Structure 1
Amino acid sequence: MPTLQRLMQGRVLLLTICAAGIGGTFQFGYNLSIINAPTLHIQEFINETWRVRTGQPLPRHLVLLVWSLIVSLYPLGGLFGALLAGPLAVMLGRKKSLLVNNIFVVAAASLFGFSRRAGSFEMVILGRLLIGVSAGVSMSVQPMYLGESAPKELRGAVAMTPAIFTALGIVMGQVVGLREVLGDPWAWPLLLASCLVPGVLQLASLPLLPESPRYLLIDCGDTEACLAALQRLRGTADVAQELSELDEERAACRGQRARRPWELLQDRGLRRQVTSLAVLGGALELCGNDSVYAVASSVFRGAGVPDAEVQYAVVGTGSCELLAACVSCVLIERVGRRVLLIAGYSLMTCWGSIFTVALCLQSSVPWMPYLAMSCIFAFILSFGIGPAGVTGILATELFDQKSRPAAYMVCGALMWILLFLVWLGFPFIMEGLSHFFYVPFLGVCVCGAIYTAFFLPETKGKSFLEISEELDRLSFLKQNQGPDWSGPEVILSTEL
């Protein structure tokens, strides 16, 4: 495969992807899934701790309130991390930001590890907030770092790797949480503190690898360091053409400073990019993938999977997303971003509709629970092939060097807020809509596919400067051509 051959030629690039990913989005997926296994054990710890302090058990509704706080502080911390990521990426650079980010991981792991010995569930609460901050930073900085370090013909595949590491983290969190590994009632502090391991691996490996060449040249003005980084990442000394493209990009950014998030919203020339980021970033969180994960266990039980075996079936759902993300990484440079997004959202609409019908008929038709279970796996595969990875590329490709950190701040903040709201509101949606709980998410999937088809330009194989020039043309074409201009026709003409 040409993609794999190019990656092997640039072994340093491959090592950079792994080092950034293991302490980056891997942590996000790992800490997202790992909290599910010790749910009952931590709730018992909360109750017992309160009993030791006061002599009385904590009422059940207050135990659930504390537990909800532990779970919901993760996306809240992610929001703080997303807002912190932009300034960190500008002041410290992409690589150093990822390294400094591990301070939050070490602090959180220490709080988790000693919480039971200290008899403090407050330490678990604070630890979840800090690990959320770490996830928020890495979710923004890692794709920025890798997207700027990859050659344009591999940028899509490289930018898909954060989705692969997210799915890998989800699977590893599910595996480590099994009863046979660290799912024992007394092992939950060690289970939560195991997030330290990927952090240590990143701290040991990432300092040996180069910084983003674009950051070195355009932000720091260091041509020699940029040239050295390019030669290491490409595995060849012949990087004159790429260096020339970077020089053109630097010339286009000369005299500009890094933009603030609110400046993106005020700039008419960036209106299309910001709208695409908001619509498709919002669709990623509101498409219902997390909700499908949430009901998977009950669907598996309804299909006759024994309670003792449900945990293994749940691991299978995470494995599906990992497989789909790997397939998407191979396909993205062949079929393009738009095709994967449209196909992903369209298939999710299809499987979500069948899933809703199967839930409604599962009590009257014997084989419907098996159809519902199959739809869960098909839905997660569709999500992994399209929206899961491609959406993360948008902020890298649609914005120039000076706007990119602010774009990741806006996108990250939006996605973490929506994730928090989905987790908060999903129990009420389930209670109010019952078997039709997925219907609102179907509307989001349809909107995601339609918006991509009509308003998102294809960026496959183009340099950042070429993308920027095309978006500028599209943004001001209506003004130049007058009232006869037709948006969809122009936008569709940009497809390769």
Structure 2
Amino acid sequence: MCAAGIGGTFQYGYNLTIINAPTMHIQKFINQTWLERSGFQLDVQVLTLLWSIIVSVYPLGGLLGALLAGPMAIRLGRKKSLLFNNLFIILSAILCGFSRSAKSFEMIVLGRVLAGVNSGISMNIQPMYLGESAPKKQRGTVTMSSAAFTALGLVLGQIVGLREILGSEECWPFLLASNVVPGILQLLSLPFLPESPRYLLIDLKDNNSCICALQRLRGHSDLGTEMEEMLAEQEATRGQRPKGLCELIQEPTLRRQLLTIVVLSSAMQLCGNDSMYFYASSIFQEAGIPSEKIQYVVIGTGSCELITSITCTIFIDRLGRRALVMGGYSLMSVWAVVFMVALSQQGHVSWMPYLSMVCIFAYILSFGIGPGLYIAAGNRIK
């Protein structure tokens, strides 16, 4: 089952990180390209605008991918959708990798859109595939492994983006194209895994293929109890068709669940975790860490999220998703208040920058306990 994680949410965390490493090099490339085309350099405001577009089109592509994920999962199936999804990341790598040779920063913009589409699709379909293929007792743990792969991608993106590896001026196109590696790994490994048994039975009505898939996944033929549960689910959904967004909103029986998902998803996006990553370098500099060493310390922020995601994956089935989400947000609230006080007193108290550093790590750890697990698990609350 790791193939889906390697090529799925792994890329989400990886793509979030690699664009931040060679910022100055890409901005310099944009300026030089414009100078060769027009004969004059860009204004700082225009250069900032173009850079902002490069950064912001990634989540825009993610929105498009999320909208495509539902129809793809139904029409192609979970496995084929994940395999087809790698086409977007391969095209993205080609565009970004050859952008400097082609002297086109527009290729980077389009490549980032395609990378976002890839992440949007995989972040929705991959937890679905894992959850539907896992045994009932291990479903929470297996589904939550998405969070661990996301955090792992974040850490590896930080490592690969180091100046000594691919974060230099000469290698930044290879850095932007390196997200193709997990896609290739998935293309090589996922074909050897079966399709989701629930998709085969409930969507395709193919009992024989479902039994074969379960036997390959479980390694035994004692499937009576599990088949009874899926047959009962099939019977309960008989005659129903997948609902569109407008139909979901208008369905009274689903309104509370939909509201829960919207509130929690909005809270996850507005909680400020990405801001912690963004301001980490400046906070570390205020604490007196040498500029050339900050890039190594920043890796610790991603490592915090990786540690908590792995740890909470072990306890998810015992504690439940709701307890972890509420606990994570509660801790984040406490550390946010402490962080605000520490920032306001940084110029007056000598040890406050160190407290700010502690708050950054503690905040990211708290995020990994709950909100990070929630979004990686496909918005499922227990």
User: What corresponds to 1:261 in structure 2?
Assistant: 245
Distance in 2, matches of 1:313 and 1:152, equals 40
Match of 2:317 among 333, 354, 357: 333
Match of 1:135 among 98, 119, 123: 119
User: What corresponds to 2:56 in structure 1?
Assistant: 72
Q: Does residue 185 of structure 1 match 2:172?
A: no
Distance in 1, matches of 2:185 and 2:376, equals 24
Q: How does 1:34-49 map to 2 (within 5 A)?
A: 34-49=18-33
Percent identity of the aligned residues? 59
Q: Does residue 120 of structure 1 match 2:118?
A: no
User: What corresponds to 1:157 in structure 2?
Assistant: 141
Q: Does residue 59 of structure 1 match 2:43?
A: yes
Distance in 2, matches of 1:260 and 1:151, equals 29
Q: Post-superposition shift, 1:235?
A: 2.4
Runs of 4+ in 1 over 2 A off after TM superposition: 390-395
Distance in 1, matches of 2:22 and 2:299, equals 15
Equivalent residue letter for 1:54: S
User: What corresponds to 1:104 in structure 2?
Assistant: 88
Secondary structure of 1:101's partner?
Answer: helix
Secondary structure of 1:259's partner?
Answer: coil
The structure-2 alpha-carbon separation of the partners of 1:394 and 1:174, relative to structure 1 and needing over 3 Å to count, comes to closer
Equivalent residue letter for 2:25: H
Distance in 2, matches of 1:149 and 1:368, equals 49
User: What corresponds to 2:354 in structure 1?
Assistant: 370
The farther-off stretch of 146-155 and 169-178 is 146-155
CA contact (8 A) 1:210 1:229 kept: yes
Distance in 2, matches of 1:84 and 1:261, equals 12
Q: Is there any run of 5+ residues in structure 2 with no aligned partner, and where? A: none
Distance in 1, matches of 2:217 and 2:368, equals 27
Distance in 1, matches of 2:135 and 2:143, equals 11
Distance in 2, matches of 1:68 and 1:336, equals 38
Distance in 1, matches of 2:69 and 2:326, equals 29
Q: How does 1:94-493 map to 2 (within 5 A)?
A: 94-393=78-377, 395=379, 397=380, 459=382
Q: Does residue 83 of structure 1 match 2:67?
A: yes
Secondary structure of 1:154's partner?
Answer: helix
Distance in 2, matches of 1:111 and 1:393, equals 30
TM-score norm. by structure 1 comes to 0.76
Distance in 2, matches of 1:249 and 1:278, equals 26
Q: Deviations over 1:441-464 (max 9, x none)?
A: xxxxxxxxxxxxxxxxxx3xxxxx
Distance in 1, matches of 2:218 and 2:370, equals 27
Q: Is there any run of 5+ residues in structure 1 with no aligned partner, and where? A: 1-15, 399-458, 460-496
How many residue pairs match? The answer is 382
Equivalent residue letter for 1:246: M
Equivalent residue letter for 2:276: V
Cα RMSD for the two superposed structures = 1.1
Distance in 2, matches of 1:357 and 1:242, equals 53
Q: Post-superposition shift, 1:394?
A: 5.8
CA contact (8 A) 2:9 2:146 kept: yes
CA contact (8 A) 2:9 2:119 kept: yes
Distance in 2, matches of 1:286 and 1:146, equals 27
Distance in 2, matches of 1:199 and 1:394, equals 20
Q: Post-superposition shift, 1:370?
A: 0.6
Q: Post-superposition shift, 1:393?
A: 3.5
CA contact (8 A) 1:277 1:394 kept: no
CA contact (8 A) 2:309 2:368 kept: yes
